[in-house]
Amino acid sequence: MSVNMKGKSLISINDLSLDEINSIFDLSADLKKKLKNGVPHKYLEGQTLGMIFSKPSTRTRVSFETGIYQLGGIGMYFGPTDLQLKKSENISDTAKVLSRYLNGIMIRTFDHQDVIDLARYGSIPVINGLTDLLHPCQVLADLFTILEKKGKLKGLKLAYIGDGNNMAHSLLNGCSKVGMHISIASPKGYRPNEEIVNNALRNAKVMNSKIEILDNPEKAVKNADVIYTDVWASMGQESEAKERRKIFAPYQVNEKLVKHAKEDYLFLHCLPAHRGEEVVNEVIDSPNSVVFDEAENRLHVQKAIMVLLMQK
């Protein structure tokens, strides 16, 4: 391993250097191969990962818990009502106490600041398992999947169609760091956070790549190597779902839209997918779709992240 990430937290891809991102990918590939070939890799023997979930999860929970187990450690799940956190104990006391018991914390919550505070006041690595602002583990798995399928990242074009949400933000961070072009098409009022876009523009300048924020999905998809979409109403926005279905209808990824991409485009979606809304069956079930390889890669990439951050 060429970089030393021991003891660090992973809150945003933007905090990672290109070398660190590449080390995560190298180790992910190695761990994936070891798992498939039955080669032991208990690099975190006896370690405990606390997993705090204020929102539901299928992939994040199961891949982290299975991952830490395969590495020789144990995962400890805390659901929305399990800890004293927020009800009768603040983040800073919680962070200090948990740091005395655990070797790492993975947290999925609403307010991004809570993840920053957990890392600031605690003394063990904190891994962001999704906030309203970012979803870095997902995008590292997404980029690893694209790298596996296309053999490179730099110079490829990713089109993200839909809500300027946590996925759009982490894709802006991730693609701009690795030199991929990214075109985002969102309706007005649902565009990504301006600060994140401006930061991605700065990264893209260094990497000589292009960032476009558009409202026309066909223009965004033109000649794309990768098409990405996500739900129109994220967790916590359920009351807006009906209104959003109307606003986002022209942003559906369907057979007509994907015709504008390269013929060998990849379709990615973080899942869960709302089939018939942001994507139709004909696209998500097509040979271009790699959504289940992408979901599997959450396991391998997060194992690499845990090893790099939590190794003694």
Active site residues: 108, 135, 138, 230, 270, 298
Question: In this chain, which stretch among 81-89, 107-115, 229-237, 294-302 interacts with ligand NVA, using CB under 6 A?
Answer: 229-237
Q: Is the peptide bond before 187 cis (omega within 30 degrees of 0)?
A: no
Binding footprint of ligand CP on the chain (CB under 6 A): 57-60, 130, 138, 270-272
Positive or negative: CA dihedral 106, 120, 72, 52: negative
Q: Which residue among 91, 140, 178, 270 contacts ligand NVA (CB under 6 A)?
A: 270
* By the rule CB under 6 A, 294 interacts with ligand NVA: no
* By the rule CB under 6 A, 241 interacts with ligand NVA: no
Q: Which long-range contacts (C-beta less than 8 Å, at least 24 apart) are formed by 34-43?
A: 35/70, 35/300, 41/70, 41/71, 42/70, 42/71, 42/72, 43/71, 43/72, 43/307, 43/311
Q: Which residues pair with 160 in a beta bridge?
A: 184, 228
Return the one option of ligand NVA, ligand CP, none that residue 58 interacts with (CB less than 5 to 8 A, by type): ligand CP
Distance CA 285, CA 164 (A): 24
* By the rule CB under 6 A, 297 interacts with ligand NVA: no
Nearer to ligand CP, 57 or 193 (CB): 57
Distance CA 107, CA 116 (A): 11
Nearer to ligand CP, 174 or 179 (CB): 174
Report residue 110 CA to chain centroid gap. 15
Question: In this chain, which stretch among 78-86, 164-172, 241-249, 284-292 interacts with ligand NVA, using CB under 6 A?
Answer: 164-172
**10 Å Cβ neighbour count for 19?**
11
* By the rule CB under 6 A, 28 interacts with ligand NVA: no
Closest separation in Å from C-beta 235 to ligand NVA:
4
Distance CA 79, CA 52 (A): 6
Cβ atoms of 141 and 59 within 8 Å: the answer is no
Closest separation in Å from C-beta 268 to ligand NVA:
12
* By the rule CB under 6 A, 165 interacts with ligand NVA: yes
Nearer to ligand NVA, 20 or 230 (CB): 230
* By the rule CB under 6 A, 302 interacts with ligand NVA: no
Nearer to ligand NVA, 43 or 64 (CB): 64
Radius of gyration of the chain (CA): 19
